[in-house]
Copies of this chain bind each other. A is one copy, B any other.
Amino acid sequence: MKNVRQLVFKDITDLKGHLTPVEARKDVPFDIKRVYYITRVAKGERRGFHSHRNLQQVLICVSGTVKILVKTPYGEEVIKLDNPAKGLYIGPMVWREMFDFTEGSALVVLASEHYDEEDYIRDYTLYEKEARIYFTENEEN
Which residues of chain A have a CB within 8 Å of any CB of chain B?
15-24, 26, 31-42, 45-47, 60, 62-64, 84, 101, 104-106, 108, 110, 114-115
Contact = CB atoms under 8 A, between A and B. Distances in A.
Given A18-B39, A104-B104, A114 B23 contact: yes
20 contacts: A16-B41, A16-B46, A17-B38, A17-B40, A17-B41, A18-B38, A20-B36, A21-B36, A23-B33, A23-B114, A23-B115, A24-B34, A24-B35, A32-B33, A32-B35, A37-B84, A39-B62, A39-B84, A106-B106, A108-B108
B18 A23 contact: no
B35 A22 contact: yes
Given A32-B32, A45-B17, A37 B24 contact: no
B16 A47 contact: yes
